[in-house]
């Protein structure tokens, strides 16, 4: 995916270096034993954030990073977040009841407001020019193809970049515009994208993006567009007749009813398959697949022995491409 800003292959090459073996072992052990499906999502995110924090503090001790400036440490930290969320995406993206409910409400809104044209949101675009929003719509639809919080943020930011180009072209090249122009267009783009699980994506980014990045490290564009996404989703859920610019001959109830009937007659917006992003090749396959807890091992000493055998086998494994 373009505009990722991190070099995964370079990070993997450094991990393959013999001097990085201890670091690699820690990452593999974490993926296999510290990030399990049974954990609550809050605990999963807490463990990932703790690992990233520890990783950043220790990285300068390894020869491949010794003497590196902060930007190199930060890029490697980004790569670690990318690998963890890529490898464990299925158990990290599991939605909770609140998110599922919001996603369902959003899909109902998409179906009810299919009739909306740019003019209904006070967007000054000629009817025959609506196709110019297609690239922005495609960027939002791409969000379900990607697994890392950063890549999902890139989809949102790229959408806004396209919107800003549209505004600039309308204003004859002027870049002086604000949220009062870009947000309505973003709302329109999201409505037309009919992208599933947008609330789940929002909460996934919020939960698994390393907090210092969301708070201050990410560039202003990332932070602004992420906040704008929440505003837009909330606006769509609360959309009503009073917030639309309807013409005198347009009946709100008839328009929404017609949109719902049209939506029921066709299948829309299937979730696209994931992109074949960079993968961490399988290096170590443990024999023990059971429960990992003190109580379980006290009652099942044979399982504990197998778990310990796996651990020492992992420490003795070689990272080969």
Nearest to 281, CA basis, from 15, 3, 2: 15
CA–CA separation, 79 and 279 (whole Å): 11
Q: What is the structure's pLDDT at 293?
A: 55
The packing angle between helices 149-170 and 198-208, to 10°, is 120
Residue 279 has pLDDT above 90, yes or no: no
Q: pLDDT digit string (tens) for 53-97?
A: 999 999 999 999 999 999 999 999 999 999 999 999 999 998 889
Please tell me the pTM assigned to this model.
Answer: 0.80
A 10 A CB-CB count for 294 gives 8
Write down the H helix ranges in the chain.
Answer: 8-16, 21-29, 41-58, 70-87, 89-92, 97-112, 134-141, 149-170, 179-193, 198-208, 211-212, 220-237, 252-264, 294-299, 301-315
Domain 97-264 is of which CATH architecture?
Up-down Bundle (1.20)
**Exposure b/e, 256-281, CB count within 10 A at least 16 = b:** beebbeebeeeeeeeeeeeeebbebe
Bigger pLDDT: 11 or 312? 11
Place of tokens 């020869």: 63
Q: Place 313 in a pLDDT band, splitting at 50, 70 and 90.
A: low
What are the start and end residues of each CATH 1.20.1050.80 domain in the chain? 97-264
pLDDT of residue 43: 96
């Amino acid at each position: 995916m373009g505009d990722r800003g991190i070099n995964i292959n370079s990070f993997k090459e450094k991990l393959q270096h013999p001097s990085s073996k201890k670091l690699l072992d820690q990452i593999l052990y974490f993926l296999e034993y510290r990030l399990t499906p049974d954990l609550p999502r809050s605990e999963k995110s807490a463990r990932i954030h703790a690992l990233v924090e520890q990783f950043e503090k220790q990285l300068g001790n390894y020869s491949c990073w010794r003497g590196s400036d902060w930007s190199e440490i930060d890029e490697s930290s980004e790569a670690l977040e990318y690998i963890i969320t890529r490898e464990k995406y299925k158990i990290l993206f599991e939605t909770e009841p609140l998110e599922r409910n919001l996603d369902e409400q959003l899909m109902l809104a998409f179906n009810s407001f299919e009739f909306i044209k740019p003019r209904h949101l006070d967007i000054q675009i000629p009817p025959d020019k609506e196709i110019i929003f297609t690239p922005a719509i495609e960027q939002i639809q791409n969000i379900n193809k990607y697994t890392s919080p950063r890549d999902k943020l890139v989809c949102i930011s790229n959408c806004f970049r396209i919107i800003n180009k549209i505004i600039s072209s309308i204003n004859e090249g002027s870049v002086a515009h604000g949220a009062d122009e870009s947000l309505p267009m973003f709302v329109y783009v999201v409505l037309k994208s009919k992208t599933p699980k947008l609330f789940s994506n929002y909460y996934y980014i919020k939960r698994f993006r390393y907090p210092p990045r969301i708070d201050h490290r990410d560039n202003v564009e990332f932070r602004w567009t992420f906040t704008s996404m929440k505003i837009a989703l909330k606006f769509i859920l609360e959309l009503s007749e009073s917030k639309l610019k309807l013409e005198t001959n347009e009946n709100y109830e008839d328009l929404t009813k017609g949109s719902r009937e049209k939506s029921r007659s066709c299948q829309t917006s299937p979730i696209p398959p994931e992109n074949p992003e960079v993968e961490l090749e399988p290096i170590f396959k443990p024999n023990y697949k059971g429960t990992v807890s003190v109580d379980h091992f006290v009652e099942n000493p044979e399982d504990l022995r197998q778990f310990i055998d796996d651990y020492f086998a992992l420490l003795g494994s070689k990272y080969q491409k």
